Amino acid sequence: MASTVPSRRSFLALAGLTTLSVALTAACGADESGGNLSADGKVTFEWWNIATTEPGKSLFPQIATAFTAAHPNIVISTTSLENEAFKSKLTATTSSGKLPDVYQTWGGGVLQQQVDAGLVEDLTDLLDWSAQLTPVSLQAYQIGGRTYGVPYDIGMVGFWYNKKLFAKAGITAPPATWAEYLGVVKKLKAAGITPIALAGKEKWPGHYYWAYLAMRVAGLPALQKAATSKDFTDPGFVKAGVHLKELVDLQPFQPGFLGAGYATPGGQAASVGNGKAAMELMGQWGPSVQKDAGADLGADLGFFPFPTVDGGVGQATEVFGGGGGFALRKGAPKEALDFLKFFVLENESKLLASNGYLPVVKGAESRLTDANKKVVAESLVKATGFQLFLDQAYPPAVGQEVNDSVADLIAGKKTPEQVTASITEAAKSA
Amino acid sequence: MPSSVSTLTKERTVESVAAPPPPPARSRLSRWGAWASVAWFLVPALLLFLVFVLAPIVVAVWTGFFKWGGIGPMADFVGFANYTKLFDDQVFIGDLWRGLYLILMSVLVQLPFALFTAVLLNQKLRGRAVYRMLFFAPYILSEVVTAVLFTMIFLPGAGMADHLAGFLGLEGLQGKWLADPSTVMPTLFVVMIWKYFGFHMMLFLAGLQSIPSEILEAASIDGAGAWQRFRYITLPLLGPTIRISVFLSIIGSIQLFDLVWVMTAGGPNHSSETMAIAMFQFGFKRYQVGYASAISVVLFMISLVFSLFYQRYVLRRDLSGAVTSGGGR
C-alpha cells in the first residue's frame, strides 16, 4: 500500500476534500458564540420575535432603532419569524441546548421545560421595575415563585358577538349563565342564524370552551392542582365536558366547521366578520383578525365574558387568556434586559396606540380608545383570577392532548369521561 | 515518519530500476491504485452522504429508544417502549391503513388514468402539445400552492365544489368534502390525482415514444385490432416505465405530507392523518421527540423494505445491464 504513489488525480481529490472539510468545519463552528463583547467594544445581542404582521412589523424595528440610537455601543440583531416557523426553529435550537439572547415566549409549559433544562435567565432579582406591571400580565412567566419573562402584551378570551344578529333573534342582553347561553344559541338557531363560528381544523379554538367550562365548574385551583397531580379525572372536569356536549348537541356551529381554519378565507374569523355567524369565543386579537380575514363589524361588534355555570365554583371575573413576552437566555448580556425595560415601559403608549396590544403597565388601560379593547383591558384589571391558555400552561404533550381530545368531543368521537382519561394519560406519561 | 518515507523511496527505486513495469497484465498493485483513486473521488460524496443521510438515520434510531422532550440531555432510556406504544395506538394503526388506501388508489386509479391520457395524447391530435402542457402543469405547482387552492375550492358553503355539487344534484356532499371524516380521504385523493397524474402521464408518453412504430404497423398488417396492439405490444414494451411509475407513486404515497398538512392538518379527528403527519405532530407540536423518532424509523423501515424488495424482485430485469458491477472484470 505504501508503495503506491498517489496519482495526480487522487492528490487533487484529496486537496478538494480538505477544502471541503475546512469549509464544513467553519460552517459548523460559525454560530457557536451568542452575542457578546466584540473587539470594538460593541455589545451585540440577538432578538427573536414574531412580529411579521402589522402593527409589530413596523413598530418593533422602530423601537429597536430608537434604542440603539440612544445606546450607540449596542447592536441588536433581529430575527422576525412567523408564529409557527418561530416555534419550529426555537424547538430545533433548544434541542441543541442553545437559545437566542432575547426571544419571544408565551410562558407556561414550554418556558418551564426551557427553565428545567437550565437555559433561561432568572429575572426575579434583576427585574426591579416589575412592580409597575400588572400582576395578571406577569403570571404566565412565573414558575415556582421566580420570574423568567417580561410581558409586552396580555389579553383574555371571551365571546365576540354581532349585536345586530343578536337583536334580530330577539336577544336583548348577553347571557350571564350557561343555561341562558344555551337559550341564546337556541334563539339564534330558531331565527335561522348560525350561532357560533368554530375553526375545527385548528383545534385550539375548541379547547377554549372546555377550559372555560372547567374553570367555571371545577374552579381555578382544581386546574392548577391537576397540573401538578397529573390527574384530570376530577368530576368537575367531566362535568365541563358534559356541558360542552350540551352545546355541541344543539349543532350551533357553521356548516363544515370541522374543516374550517381560523384566519383563513371562509374560516372562523371571516364567518363572524362577514356576519355569517353570530359569535365566536376568541382572544383580544379577535376583532383585528375578523377585519383581516372578512370585514370589520365596527359598532355592531360586542364583547361579553364567558358565562358562569350554575352550581360551579368559578366566578365570572376569573379570566382565561395569555399574552406575549420576552425571555432571556441564561448568560445573555445585561444590555438585553435594559432593552426590554425600554421596550415595555417607555414604549407602552406606542404599543397601545398601534391598536395591536393590550396594556401590561398598571393604569395604562385608561389610555385605550377602542371600546372593545377597553372592555377587555378593564376585565383584566378587575380579574380575580387568571388561567393561561391550557395548551401553553401545560407541557406541550399535555396541552396538545387537551386540544385533540376536546376536538374529538366536539366531533362526537369521545365522551366527557374519555376526554379526561386521555388528558390524564398524556399527563402521566409526559 | 522518516522511515516510511525512506521505505517509499527505496521501494520506488527498486521498482522502477529493477523490474520493468509488467505490461498490460493488471497487477494487484495497479488495481489497488485504481481502487484508491476511485475511493478518493468518492470521498466528498460519501462524506456528504454520511453527514446528511446516514448520521441522521443513526441519530433517529438512537433517539427512538428514549423518552425525550427535545430539550436537555437524553437520559430516559426506554428501549422499545415507544414502539409498543406506537402499535397500541389506534390512530397510528389507522395511519398505516390510510397509507395503504392511498397506495392502492394511486396504483389502481391514478396510474391507469395517466396511462389512458398518455395513450390518447400520443395520437395525432390537434393541439396535443397544449393538452400535454395543461395536464403536466399541476405537477409544477408547489404542494402548498395546490393545497391552498383546493382549500378554497372545497370551502364549505362558498367553494366551487359546493356549487358544482348543487348543480349536479349531489346536495348530500355540500359542506362536507374536507370537513367530514367519511369524505375527506376520497377528496384528498382527487387532489393527489390532479397534482401528480400529469407527471406519470409524461413518463408514459416518453415510454410510448420509444416504442418503434414499425412493430405497431407490422401488428396492424397482421390483423391486430387497436386493443390487441395495446395489450400485446404497447403494454409489455411499456413495462419498465410502468414499473418505475408504480415505484415512485408508492413511495410518494407513503411519505405524503405537505398537501395533507395544509389542507386538513390530518383532520377531522385524524381521519386524514398520514404517518408523516403523525411524526410532525408528535415531534413539533407535542415535543415528544423520542416518540416522533420512533414513528420516523417505522416510516423509514417501511420505505426501505419496500424499496429493497421492489428493486430486487420487480425492477431487477429493468436494471440488469444498466448498472456496472465492480466485480465483473
pLDDT tens-digit profile, chain B (329 residues): 344 444 444 444 444 445 555 555 556 667 888 888 888 889 999 999 999 999 999 999 999 999 988 777 788 899 999 999 999 999 999 999 999 999 999 999 999 999 999 999 998 888 888 999 999 999 999 999 999 999 989 988 778 888 888 888 888 888 788 888 899 999 999 999 999 999 999 999 999 999 998 999 999 999 989 899 999 999 999 999 999 999 999 999 998 999 999 999 887 889 999 999 999 999 888 888 999 999 999 999 999 999 999 988 888 877 765 555 444 44
Strand pairing category for A385-388 and A318-328: parallel
CB A190 within 8 A of CB A169: yes
Whether residue A213 sits in one domain with residue A109: no
Residues B80 and B176 in one domain: no
Q: Could you give the C-alpha distances from A243 to A32, A160, A239, A409, in angstroms and in order?
A: 52, 20, 6, 11
Residues B260, B126 within the same domain? yes
Structural domain boundaries, residue A383: 43-156+321-388
Residue A117 placed within a domain: yes
Task: Look up residue A98 and give its DSSP letter.
Answer: -
Helix, strand or coil for residue B253? helix
Confidence (pLDDT) at A87: 84
- Are A304 and A348 within one domain? no
Q: Do A259 and B44 touch (CB under 8 A)?
A: no
Q: Do B175 and A256 touch (CB under 8 A)?
A: yes
- What are B60's three cell numbers? 433517529
Residue B245's CB is within 10 A of a number of other CB atoms, namely 23
Residues B75 and B174 in one domain: no
Range name among A8-22, A152-166, A292-306, B89-103 with the lowest pLDDT average:
A8-22
Interface test with B, best of A258, A274, A405 (most B CBs within 10 A): A258
Cell of A186: 337556541
Closest Cα partner for A387 from A149, A250, A219? A219
Which residues, numbered 272 to 291 in chain A, qualify as contacts with chain B under a Cβ-Cβ cut-off of 8 Å? 276
Give phi and psi for A75, each to the nearest 5.
-120, 130
Same domain, B75 and B132: no
- The cell for A367 is 389610555
Tell me how far apart the alpha carbons of residues A273 and A277 are, in angstroms, rounded to a whole number.
8
Please state whether the peptide bond connecting residue B268 to the residue before it is cis, i.e. omega within 30 degrees of 0: yes
| Same domain membership, residue A216 and residue A75 | no
In this structure, are B122 and B61 located in the same domain? no
Kind and range of the H or E element at A43? strand A43-49
pLDDT value, residue B243? 93
Cα A406 from Cα A314, distance rounded (Å): 20
Q: Which domain holds residue B229?
A: 94-277
**Domain total for chain A?**
2
Taking each helix axis as running N to C, give the angle between helix A235-249 and helix A178-190, from 0 to 180 degrees, rounded to the nearest 10: 10
Chain A CB contacts of B269 under 8 Å are: 258, 407-408, 411, 413
Distances (CA, A) of B237 to A12, B148, B215: 45, 39, 11
What three-state secondary structure class fits A369?
coil
The CA angle B285-B290-B292, to the nearest 5 degrees, is 50
| DSSP one-letter code for A133 | B
Residue A136 has what pLDDT?
Answer: 87
Q: Do A16 and B285 touch (CB under 8 A)?
A: no
Position A76 in a domain: yes
Supply the CATH number for residue A148's domain.
3.40.190.10
- Residues of chain A with pLDDT > 90: what percent? 56
The Cα angle at residue A233 between residues A227 and A236, in degrees rounded to 5:
95
Cell of A326: 420576552
User: Which of A7, A95, A411 lies nearest to residue B33, judging by beta carbons?
Assistant: A7
pTM value? 0.81
Residues whose CB falls within 8 Å of the CB of residue B81, separated by 6 or more in sequence, listed in order: B67
Supply φ then ψ for residue A11, to 5 degrees: -65, -45
> Side-chain half-sphere of B80: how many Cα atoms within 13 Å?
4
Question: In degrees rounded to 5, what are phi and psi of residue A159?
Answer: -85, 125
pLDDT at B284: 84
Both A303 and A345 in a single domain? no
Q: Which chain A residue's Cα is nearest to B38? A: A10
The verdict on B259 and B121 lying in the same domain is yes
Nearest to B269 among A256, A395, A411 (CB): A411
User: Would A367 be classed as within a structural domain?
Assistant: yes
- Residue B201 domain flag: yes
| Sequence-distant (≥ 6) Cβ neighbours of residue B107 within 8 angstroms | B246, B249, B250
Q: Residues in chain B, how many?
A: 329
A88, A91, A255: residue with CB nearest B157: A255
Taking only residues 1 to 30 of chain B, the set having a beta carbon closer than 8 angstroms to any beta carbon of chain A reads 4, 7-8, 11-12, 15, 29
Stated as kind and residue range, the H or E segment containing A386 is: strand A385-388
Which DSSP helix (H) or strand (E) runs through A119?
A: none
* Whether B112 and B231 share a structural domain: yes
Select from A21, A277, A41, A292 the least CA-distant residue to A162: A277
Instruction: Tell me if B143 is assigned to some domain.
Output: yes
Judge whether A35 lies within some domain.
Answer: no
pLDDT at position B317: 76
> Domain for residue A31, yes or no?
no
- B329: in domain: no
Q: Does a structural domain hold residue B9?
A: no
Contact B280/A at CB under 8 A: no
Contacts of residue A204, defined as CB under 8 A and 6 or more positions apart, other chains included, come to A389, A391, A403
Cell readout for A363 is 393604569
Residues A276 and A403 in one domain: yes
Concatenated DSSP letters for B151-208? Answer: HHHT-TTTSHHHHHHHHTT-GGGTTTGGGSTTTHHHHHHHHHHHHHHHHHHHHHHHHH
Confirm whether B16 is domain-assigned.
no
What is the number of other CB atoms lying within 10 angstroms of the CB of residue A428? 12
Tell me, yes or no, whether A26 lies in a domain.
no
How far is A56 from B324, CA to CA, in rounded Å? 60
DSSP state of B310: I
- Residue ranges in A96-159 assigned as alpha helix (H): 108-116, 135-138
In a domain, B43, yes or no: no
Residue A122 shares a structural domain with residue A201: no
CA dist list (Å): A350 to A71, A136, B250: 20, 21, 55
Let me know: does B300 contact B88? Beta carbons within 8 Å: no
HSE, side-chain direction, 13 A CA sphere, residue A266: 21
Q: Find, among B309, B300, B239, B310, the residue nearest to B275 by Cα.
A: B300
pLDDT at B29: 67
Q: Output the furthest CA–CA distance in chain B (Å, rounded).
A: 95
Supply the mean pLDDT for chain A.
86
Place of cell 369524505: B183
Q: Round to whole Å and give the CA distance between A145 and A158.
A: 28
- How does residue A33 score in pLDDT terms, banded at 50, 70 and 90? very low
Q: How far apart are CA A301 and CA A203, in angstroms?
A: 24
Name the residue among B7, B71, B178 with its Cβ closest to that of A114.
B71
- Integer Cα distance of A227 and A270 in angstroms: 35
Mention every residue, 6+ apart, whose C-beta is less than 8 A from residue B47: A17, A20, A21
Q: Is residue B197 part of a domain?
A: yes
Measure in Å the smallest separation between the Cα of B44 and chain A Cα atoms: 6
Cβ separation A259–B70 shorter than 8 A: no
Q: Which three-class secondary structure state does DSSP give residue A284? A: coil
Chain B residues within 8 A of A423 when measuring between CB atoms: none
At residue B321, φ and ψ (nearest 5 deg) are 95, -30
DSSP B17-60: IISPPP-SSPPHHHHHHHHHHHHHHHHHHHHHHIIIIIHHHHHH
Could you tell me the pLDDT band of residue A12, with boundaries at 50, 70 and 90? very low
What is the C-alpha separation between A408 and A183, in angstroms, rounded? 24
**Weakest-pLDDT range from A17-21, A59-63, A241-245, A404-408:** A17-21
Identity of the amino acid at A72:
P
**pLDDT recorded at residue B26:** 57
Q: Does residue B10 form part of some domain?
A: no
Of B79, B185, B270, B274, nearest in space to A422 by CA: B270
pLDDT (0 to 100) of residue A13:
44
3-class secondary structure per residue, A341-366: HHHHHHCHHHHHHCCCCCCCECCHHH
Q: Is the peptide bond before A307 cis (omega within 30 degrees of 0)?
A: no
Which tens digit of pLDDT belongs to each residue from A287-303? Answer: 888 988 888 888 899 99
Domain count, chain B: 2
Per residue in A362-393, pLDDT (tens digit) is 888 888 888 888 888 888 888 888 999 998 88
Indicate the SS3 state at residue B224: coil
Distance between CA atoms of residues B46 and A354, nearest Å: 54
Least confident of A8-22, A52-66, A387-401, A416-430: A8-22
pLDDT at A16 over 60: no
Compute the distance between CA of residue B50 and CA of residue B263 in angstroms, rounded to an integer.
Answer: 35
